[in-house]
């Protein structure tokens, strides 16, 4: 730990008692700071502001144009910081929204906890299994509200799908298929340029090994091991959290994975991969994905002895067994069909704001965020070792 961070933690610990003493009333707006204010963080903050739940008072980011853009669009009077620790020192901030690269999630969240701030942090909550354990300890020793960006837990049709699974409607579930498809070649065709002179690359690197500035790594950090974890942390992490939630189990027995970059060879993480997870209770989850074509987007399919459920962000449907002939390729008419209403992110940030006021546990606390991230990390360990990982 560097000397500046040690000094910050000392002063932050002293300030915690003061900030914890303030209880928000039902009509109070939450004064928030944005830390790592790229596109996702801007969207989260915008939703909080639209709900009338919050006021943006400060932003921090290693890239000056991002700080300027969010202030211009959302809060011209907000203060601007290069170092997020200076933002956390401000006593008029109640909560922070963290949208940084993955390798900064745990350091920023722990620093925010120690500074007495509530936290909305994007998924995956950790960059390594060890970091997740550190965060669990820090969160358990505080009374801070910490919401992880698994918005499906606040999305009404996902909540209803969970009730259907819990009712036994699907029978014994032995196989959960998860998939996610995106089209990076198309997206990257119009990739913006970065003004190198306005990036603090050293701060961006943080705990990552020292390396020369690379525009692709700066913009597409999710696909480089120093900063993200590819498919499993960026995409499957959402689905494995839902699967854990629906199935009532959050720790696999063993994991296997394979993958390779066939098209996007400039990425370290594979563009195409699969991973298999064996769980206690007699079931398994299998993920497949590619980022070279986006048709079908992301889906979860739960196969049971009585019925099959197809679940995604558009809604879900339940298809009964025994209606169409065996091995027919068509599906029967669904017994249950539910369409999504709106964007679950809006409900998720509202849940966060409500919990900041009420001090109730949010829908996606650290206790569920850490196991979801751990499952993703286990898959990446199996992928990189080329061997089965037994937990």
One-letter-per-residue 3-state SS of the chain: CCHHHHHHHHHHHHHHHHHHCCCCCCCCCEEEEEECCCHHHHHHHHHHHHCCCEEEEEEECCEHHHHHHHHHHHCCCCEEECCHHHHHCCCCCCEEEECCCHHHHHHHHHHHHHCCCEEEECCCCCCCHHHHHHHHHHHHCCCCCEEECCHHHHCHHHHHHHHHHHCCCCCCEEEEEEEEECEHHHHHCCCCCCCHHHECHHHHHCCCCCCCCCHHHHHCHHHCCCCCCHHHHHHHHHHHHHHHHHHCCCCCCEEEEEEECCCCCCCCCCCEEEEEEEECCCEEEEEEEECECCCCCEEEEEEECCEEEEEECCEEEEEECCCCCCCCCCCCCCCEEEECCCCHHHHHHHHHHHHHHHCCCCCCCHHHHHHHHHHHHHHHHHHHHCCCEEC
Query: CA-CA distances (angstroms) from residue 26 to 102, 117, 147, 302?
Result: 33, 18, 19, 40
Query: In CATH, what number is assigned to the domain containing residue 132?
Result: 3.40.50.720
CA distances from residue 204 to 6, 85, 90, 212 in whole angstroms, order as listed: 19, 14, 22, 12
Q: Is residue 336 part of a domain?
A: yes
Q: Provide the pLDDT for residue 10.
A: 46
Considering the domain architecture, whether residues 216 and 275 belong to the same structural domain is answered as yes
Tokens read off for 140: 């358990």
Task: Give the per-residue pLDDT at 24.
Answer: 55
Query: Within this chain, do residues 176 and 64 fall inside the same structural domain, yes or no?
Result: no
Residue 297 and residue 206 in one domain: yes
Q: Are residues 279 and 360 in the same domain?
A: no
pLDDT at 385: 97
Rounded alpha-carbon distances, angstroms, from residue 93 to 43, 55, 380: 19, 10, 36
148 and 167 co-located in one domain: no
Q: Write down the pTM of the prediction.
A: 0.92
Q: List the domain range (segments joined by +) for residue 236.
A: 154-342+373-390
Q: Could you tell me if 145 and 250 lie in one domain?
A: no
Please tell me the predicted confidence (pLDDT) of residue 25: 45
Asked if 115 and 89 touch (Cβ cutoff 8 Å), the reply is yes
Domain count, the chain: 2
- Region of 171 please: left (phi>0), alpha (psi -120 to 50) or beta: left
Flag whether 22 is in a domain. no
CATH of the domain at 173: 3.30.360.10
pLDDT averaged per 10 residues in sequence order, the chain, 391 residues: 45 40 60 96 96 95 97 96 98 97 98 98 98 98 96 98 98 98 91 93 98 97 98 98 98 98 97 98 98 97 98 98 92 96 95 97 98 98 97 92
pLDDT at 13: 42
**pLDDT at residue 53, as a whole number:** 87
- Specify if 273 maps to a domain: yes
């Amino acid at each position: 730990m560097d000397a500046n961070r040690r000094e910050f933690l000392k002063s932050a610990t002293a300030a915690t008692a003061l900030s914890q003493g303030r209880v928000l009333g039902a009509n109070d707006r939450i004064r928030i700071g944005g830390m790592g204010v790229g596109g996702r963080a801007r969207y989260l903050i915008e939703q909080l502001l639209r709900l009338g739940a919050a006021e943006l008072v400060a932003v921090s980011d290693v890239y000056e144009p991002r700080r300027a853009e969010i202030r211009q669009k959302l809060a011209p009077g907000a203060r601007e910081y290069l170092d997020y620790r200076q933002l956390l020192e401000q006593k008029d901030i109640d909560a922070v929204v963290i949208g940084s690269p993955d390798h900064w999630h745990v350091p920023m969240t722990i620093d925010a906890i120690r500074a007495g701030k509530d936290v909305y942090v994007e998924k995956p909550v950790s960059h390594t299994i060890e970091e997740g354990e550190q965060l669990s300890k820090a969160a358990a020793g505080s009374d801070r509200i910490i919401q992880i960006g698994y918005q499906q837990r606040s999305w009404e049709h996902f909540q209803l799908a969970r009730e259907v699974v819990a009712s036994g409607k699907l029978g014994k579930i032995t196989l959960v298929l998860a998939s996610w498809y995106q089209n990076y070649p198309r997206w990257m065709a119009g990739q913006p340029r970065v003004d190198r002179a306005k990036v603090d690359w050293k701060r961006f690197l943080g705990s990552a090994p020292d390396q020369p500035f690379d525009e692709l790594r700066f913009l597409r950090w999710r696909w480089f091991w120093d900063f993200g974890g590819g498919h499993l942390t960026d995409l499957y992490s959402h689905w494995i959290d839902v699967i854990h939630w629906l199935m009532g189990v959050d720790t696999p027995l063993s994991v296997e994975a394979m993958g390779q970059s066939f098209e996007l060879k400039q990425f370290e993480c594979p563009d195409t991969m699969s991973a298999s997870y064996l769980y206690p209770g007699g079931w398994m989850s299998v993920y497949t994905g590619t980022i070279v074509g986006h048709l079908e987007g992301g889906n979860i399919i739960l196969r049971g002895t009585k019925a099959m459920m197809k679940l995604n962000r558009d809604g879900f449907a339940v298809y009964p067994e025994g209606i169409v002939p065996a091995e027919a390729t068509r599906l029967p008419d669904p017994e249950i069909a539910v369409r999504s209403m709106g964007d679950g992110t809006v409900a998720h940030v509202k849940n966060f704001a409500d919990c900041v006021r009420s001090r109730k546990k949010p829908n996606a606390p650290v206790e569920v965020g850490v196991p979801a991230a751990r499952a993703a990390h286990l898959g990446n360990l199996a992928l990189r070792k080329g061997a089965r990982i037994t937990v």
